């Protein structure tokens, strides 16, 4: 007997956390009954596990690890009820189902990882991993050194302080470009932090995850991760743990 979220991750349907979200939404059934408890266990050899009415098969073939340069005004989901462009529009030639690791909001762009390896995704993107993600951000006006220091130390958002981060001035002008590094991933965190100090974001681009960078990959283009990049990412949670200790 295995937990459903682990089975869905192994089948490449979603990460374990994403699988829990599917269960909460009532989209997962076992033998025709909707699953209501996150910790439910099933027998994969005998129980009929389905998501959105489609049977989940555990034989998924080889693992796939991809890098996409997500353009602006594209939704980081596999479908969108509003009919907006989604990342699926950029997955031409990809066989089987893959899912994104985390999200970039509709107006943000840059590095997005995709895979069908749920266990790897869980290890890399779990909040406890604290894997660094770097961004280039254009904001209104020019934040003062004191404001950048305040953001780096952490501010309160919705009653909870953000983790220490790095906010650095990269280029001045009438509107500044910042280099931002986060070790946590709250929803729209950078935009909300900068809005809180009255420097709203004009443009936001993720340029690296761990030690793997977007490089010169054009917007809208997709490629497989190299062996070296995959090793760097698989070691990223361990590197982050050593830094904390």
Residue 98 lies in a domain: yes
Q: What is the CATH number of the domain that holds 192?
A: 3.30.70.1560
Same domain, 69 and 136: no
Same domain, 197 and 140: yes
Residue 16 lies in a domain: yes
CA atoms 27, 28, 30, 36: torsion sign: negative
Same domain, 119 and 233: yes
Per-residue pLDDT of the chain (245 residues; tens, 9 = 90+): 889 998 888 777 888 888 899 999 999 999 999 999 998 999 887 889 999 998 887 655 578 999 999 999 999 988 888 999 999 999 988 877 888 998 899 999 999 999 988 888 888 888 778 899 999 999 999 999 999 999 999 999 989 999 999 999 998 889 999 999 999 888 899 999 999 999 999 999 999 999 999 999 999 999 999 999 999 998 766 555 555 55
Number of neighbours of residue 223 by Cβ within 10 angstroms: 12
Same domain, 91 and 115: yes
* 155 in Cβ contact with 166 (< 8 Å): no
Residues 6+ apart with CB under 8 A from 226: none
Same domain, 106 and 174: no
Q: How far apart are CA 22 and CA 27, in angstroms?
A: 5
Q: H-type helices in 55-153, by residue range?
A: 118-125, 145-153
E strand or H helix that includes residue 229: helix 227-244
Same domain, 91 and 149: no
Same domain, 69 and 101: yes
- Look up tokens 């089987």; give the residue: 96
Same domain, 197 and 86: no
Same domain, 143 and 205: yes
Q: Which residues have a catalytic role annotated?
A: 105
Q: What is the CATH number of the domain that holds 36?
A: 3.10.290.10
CA atoms 106, 111, 117, 123: torsion sign: negative
Instruction: Kindly give the interhelix angle for 118-125 and 227-244, rounded to the nearest 10 degrees.
Output: 40
Residue 198 lies in a domain: yes
Same domain, 34 and 150: no
Q: What is the CATH number of the domain that holds 219?
A: 3.30.70.580
> How many structural domains comprise the chain?
3
Same domain, 122 and 142: no
List the domain range (segments joined by +) for residue 93: 65-127+211-244
Residue 60 lies in a domain: no
């Amino acid at each position: 007997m295995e937990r459903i979220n682990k089975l869905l991750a192994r089948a490449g349907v979603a990460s374990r956390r994403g699988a829990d979200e599917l269960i909460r939404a009532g989209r997962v059934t076992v033998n025709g009954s909707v699953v209501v408890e996150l910790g439910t266990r099933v027998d994969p050899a005998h129980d009929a596990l389905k998501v959105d009415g489609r049977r989940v098969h555990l034989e998924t073939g080889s693992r796939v690890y991809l890098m996409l340069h997500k353009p602006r005004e594209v939704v980081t989901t596999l479908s969108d009820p509003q009919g907006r462009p989604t990342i699926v529009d950029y997955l031409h030639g990809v066989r089987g189902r893959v899912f994104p690791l985390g999200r970039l909001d509709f107006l943000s762009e840059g590095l997005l990882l995709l895979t069908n390896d749920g266990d790897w995704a869980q290890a890399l993107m779990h909040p406890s991993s604290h894997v660094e993600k770097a961004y280039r951000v254009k904001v209104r006006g020019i934040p003062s050194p004191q404001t950048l220091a305040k953001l780096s130390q952490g501010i309160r958002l919705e009653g909870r302080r953000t983790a220490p981060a790095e906010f650095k001035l990269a280029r001045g002008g009438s509107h500044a470009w910042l280099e931002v590094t986060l070790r946590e991933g709250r929803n729209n965190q950078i935009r909300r932090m900068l809005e809180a100090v009255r420097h709203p974001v004009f443009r936001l681009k993720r340029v690296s995850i761990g030690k793997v960078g977007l490089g010169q990959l054009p917007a809208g283009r997709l490629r497989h991760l190299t062996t070296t990049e995959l090793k760097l990412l698989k070691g990223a949670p361990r590197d982050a743990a050593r830094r904390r200790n």
